[in-house]
Amino acid sequence: MSQVATNEAATLTEAILGKELISAPIFSKVRAWPAELRAALFSVLLASAVLLPYLGAVGLWDPWEVHYGEVAREMIQRNDYVHPFWENAWFFSKPAFTMWMQALGLQAADAGPVLALLLAALLGGLGYALYQGKVKGASATKEFWGVLGLVFGAFFLLLFVWSKAVTFPWRFSTVPMGPDALPLFTEWGFRLPFAGFSILAIGLLTYAMTIAVNARAALASALVLITMPLYFLLSRQAVTDTPIISATIAGVACAMVGLFDKTTRFRSEWWYGSYVFFAIATLAKGLLGFGIPMLVFIAYVALREMTWKSIGAHFKWMFTHMLMPMGAGLGAAVIVGGIAYMLGKQWNTTFMAVPVIDNVSRISAPTWLGIMWGSLAFWTVTTILLGREKKATTERPPPVFAMAYDMRLGTGILLFLAVCLPWYYEMFTFWRVDDESKIFWFRFIIHDHFARLGSGVHTTTPGGDFTYFILQGGYAMFPWVAIVPGALATAGRLKIRGLSAADGVGLIAVLWFVITWALIGSSATKFHHYTAPMLPPLAILMGIFLDKLWEEGIDAHGLVLLFGLPLFILVGKDLAATPKHFTDLFVYNYDRPYPTFLTETPVLGSNNIKQLMGMGMALAGVAIGLFALLRSRAMMFTAGLASVMAFALWFNWSHWVQLSHHWTQRDQFWRYYTQRRPNEPIAAFLMNWRGETFYSRNTVKQIKDNPQVGMKNYAEQPGREWSLVEHARLGMLKSAVGDRQITLVDKDLNNKFVLVIIE
């Protein structure tokens, strides 16, 4: 290590904040907290600062937020939270958890500021009680939660007001919305649970990595993930990808604590927490919720614990201790499965019933029912008896079986099923069909899983070669693409069977990334945002690399930093030249026009956003590179931290807000509800962007079939009519209505849609 690096502060925090500040008496109690709690608190506050401001300042984006949002609104309106419904048909393409989160937020949105005050008072009061020791047995841990409650009590209220007030002068006025518009705080209520879940995942990951590696690596991983564009953009969206990614991160973090914290008294609780989070992920998006974690931990146990020499010991243990429990479980499966089959036949069950296909043999619905209940009985009985067998013997199980016991595998899977099975069981029995005449299990399992993987569905970019996610991954993780070579090099130095917890964490991250990339990369259905599940494991490896870079110095990693330089330059050049790559990361149709005037209109003298973005990237890169050449790790890290935070905060607090007005129909509907007269309807002409259904509360008239005749008949009604139409189809609408007068309402408000009055 160079002399310059040796003379610098021992920790990154000291280097950035100064030893005098962090040693101040005011922080004495904070310094007494365990490192994992301090790190978790800091990462939660950092994620909150990036994700929460302006969360509800703009409308929901087309088409996914409003699509799932309308299903959630229908749940409330129909008082049916089990069977998702959309417009005039059942909705089977996604599980219900996302809509449950939205329904909760939509109901909370009615309370508006009152809810914020109640939450602030609750969190603040609980925090004060814990911090002052009013709760029996106050400790450093309770002090931590007390301060966290106090901070979030104030922070929650501050950000709530901030997200509503600093947008448009009329934001707090209900008059421009009209009396029939959705509640003022709808968007805030919708998005807050999703952003909150992402923040929770960040906190748990930081906590786990501090225990397994150290606080610096943990905070570095959290910072990397929070400031990756695709991660913070998805975290601000009320869509299915956010809860599955957040739940997977949280589940893996809980598992890491269970694996690597040798001093905890709550190992079972951490493991059970991981199973609950994986169940939530399964309720959020289906088989991937448990499929990827299952493959990761199977591979982890096999690589870390299994050896050729131990195979014999495993077979011996299985024959000695497992045959009787498995035999009893098999007997229970036959009995319970047989009873379920007979009852299902008697009751004419529709469990996993499939459409009748001529000349094709199929498993009957009663047989499927028997298989399901028989499998559940087998696992339950076997788990109970294996637990009793473990307690009755002093013999240590072979490594794989010992790991299964440590992971609470049997009871954990039962808990997993207890969380997610009831809803799936009900839907597998639900015999109604959706708008494509498919029952739930056929639509969801066959079409939306296997057809998506094999033949491709819904996507506007089907197929694609292996470079697809490499390209999108570069955009998704900018500017951290510069340290991808370093992360891979660090992973290469870790040992599969290494004794340190860092080796274990690295193996989990590598397996998580490799399995996710292999599975999603092989899918025929490809969207840019499918890159998102690969980001958390990469962030873990990047955090470990940044820790090594600080600890070992710049010279020790100079070559991999040089490898990352062209990646930073080339990806940054593409993004600065074409900012549309950012929005394409998480939208549906990549042909939708981008509001280029937002980035090309001069803002500072003759410079526009594109030019300033490019100059900012260049200046940050030059500054970081200069400090690296000078071997000043403190200045290099400080410049990097300042740059990525400035970029993330600008994008979330400013640019995302400006962009949102061109991907939402809320603004048009606010004008419609404000300016319409009694009994004046609204139509959507040749549109299927979902927002028209949600923001009209499913009262919009859809004119899609035979549009010329349909619009002509609609316009000939007595009085004025309103319509939403894409700018590109305005001429078709004018042609259809003939000599009727067309008035455009704020035509430049949205570059995709325009609201018109027909008189």
Cβ-Cβ contacts under 8 Å for 626 (sequence gap 6 or more): none
Distance of alpha carbon 430 from alpha carbon 446, whole angstroms: 16
Cα–Cα separations (whole angstroms), residue 675 to 175, 670, 726: 10, 9, 20
User: For the residues 554-583, what does the mean pLDDT come to?
Assistant: 92
Tell me what pLDDT residue 514 has: 95
The Cβ of residue 307 has, within 10 Å, a number of other Cβ atoms equal to 12
Task: Locate 325 and state its tokens.
Answer: 């429990």
φ/ψ bin of 190: left (φ > 0), alpha (ψ from -120 to 50), beta (otherwise): alpha
Tell me what pLDDT residue 415 has: 92
8 Å CB contact between 445 and 309: no
324-328 contacts at long range (C-beta below 8 A, 24 or more positions apart): 324/385, 324/389, 325/381, 325/382, 325/385, 325/386, 325/389, 326/382, 328/381, 328/382, 328/385
Tell me what pLDDT residue 118 has: 59
Task: Locate 628 and state its tokens.
Answer: 């690296």
Condensed to tens digits (0 to 9), the pLDDT of residues 365-409 reads: 899 999 999 999 999 999 999 988 888 787 788 888 888 898 999
Strand, coil or helix: 1: coil
The Cβ of residue 551 has, within 10 Å, a number of other Cβ atoms equal to 15
Strand, coil or helix: 408: coil
Is the Cα dihedral 440, 442, 445, 447 positive or negative? Answer: negative
Tell me what pLDDT residue 353 has: 78
Condensed to tens digits (0 to 9), the pLDDT of residues 430-439 reads: 988 888 888 8
User: For the residues 169-173, what does the mean pLDDT come to?
Assistant: 34
678 vs 603, more confident:
678
User: For the residues 547-567, what does the mean pLDDT come to?
Assistant: 91
Distance of alpha carbon 447 from alpha carbon 407, whole angstroms: 33
Q: Among all chains, which residue has been given the structure tokens 């009152």? A: 114
Q: What torsion do the CA atoms of 8, 12, 15, 19 make, to the nearest 10 degrees?
A: -100
Of 527, 448, 520, 446, whose CA–CA distance to 93 is shortest? 448
Task: Locate 149 and state its tokens.
Answer: 């409650």
Tell me what pLDDT residue 537 has: 96
Q: What angle do CA 110, 114, 119 make, to 5 degrees?
A: 110
Indicate the domain borders of the chain.
Answer: 666-758
Residue 724 above 80 pLDDT?
A: yes
535-538 contacts at long range (C-beta below 8 A, 24 or more positions apart): 535/225, 535/228, 535/230, 535/231, 535/473, 535/476, 535/477, 536/205, 536/225, 536/245, 536/248, 536/249, 536/252, 536/512, 537/508, 537/509, 537/510, 537/512, 537/513, 538/477, 538/484, 538/487, 538/509, 538/513
8 Å CB contact between 133 and 165: no
Task: Locate 691 and state its tokens.
Answer: 């927002």
Condensed to tens digits (0 to 9), the pLDDT of residues 615-660 reads: 989 998 899 889 888 888 888 888 899 999 999 999 999 999 999 9
User: For the residues 236-249, what does the mean pLDDT come to?
Assistant: 95
Tell me what pLDDT residue 166 has: 37
Distance of alpha carbon 262 from alpha carbon 211, whole angstroms: 10
Residue 137 above 50 pLDDT?
A: no
Percentage of residues in the chain with pLDDT exceeding 70? 84
Is the Cα dihedral 286, 292, 297, 303 positive or negative? Answer: positive
- Establish whether the linkage from the previous residue to 479 is cis, with ω within 30° of 0: yes
Residue 130 above 70 pLDDT?
A: no
Of 482, 620, 480, whose CA–CA distance to 564 is shortest? 482
H helical segments located in 79-185: 97-109, 113-131, 140-165
Of 218, 748, 747, 632, whose CA–CA distance to 756 is shortest? 747
Task: Locate 630 and state its tokens.
Answer: 């000078």
| Paired residues of 439 in beta bridges | 433
φ/ψ bin of 584: left (φ > 0), alpha (ψ from -120 to 50), beta (otherwise): alpha
End-to-end, the C-alpha distance of the chain in Å comes to 78
The Cβ of residue 431 has, within 10 Å, a number of other Cβ atoms equal to 12
What does 19-64 look like in DSSP terms, one character per residue?
A: HHHHTSGGGHHHHHS-HHHHHHHHHHHHHHHHHSTTTTSSPPPTTH
User: For the residues 671-684, what does the mean pLDDT come to?
Assistant: 92
User: For the residues 279-294, what does the mean pLDDT come to?
Assistant: 93
Cβ-Cβ contacts under 8 Å for 453 (sequence gap 6 or more): 522, 523, 524, 525
Helices (H), strands (E): how many in the chain? 36, 9
What is the 3-state secondary structure of 569-597? HHHHHHHHHCCHHHHHCCCCCCCCCCCCH
Task: Locate 377 and state its tokens.
Answer: 């009985």
Q: What angle do CA 665, 59, 72 make, to 5 degrees?
A: 90
Backbone angles phi, psi at 59, to 5 degrees: -70, 170
Condensed to tens digits (0 to 9), the pLDDT of residues 482-512 reads: 999 999 999 999 888 888 888 999 999 999 9
What is the 3-state secondary structure of 511-575? HHHHHHHHHHHCCCCCCHHHHHHHHHHHHHHHHHHHHHHHHHCCHHHHHHHHHHHHHHHHHHHHH
Identity of the residue numbered 46: L
Task: Locate 470 and state its tokens.
Answer: 């490499």
8 Å CB contact between 632 and 4: yes
H or E segment and range at residue 196: helix 186-212
pLDDT band at 450 (very low <50, low <70, confident <90, very high): confident
Say what the pTM is.
0.90
Using alpha carbons only, how large is the chain's radius of gyration in Å?
28
Residue 188 above 60 pLDDT?
A: yes
User: For the residues 114-118, what does the mean pLDDT come to?
Assistant: 57
Task: Quote the mean pLDDT of the chain.
Answer: 85
Least confident of 392-396, 555-559, 585-589, 646-650: 392-396
Identity of the residue numbered 314: H
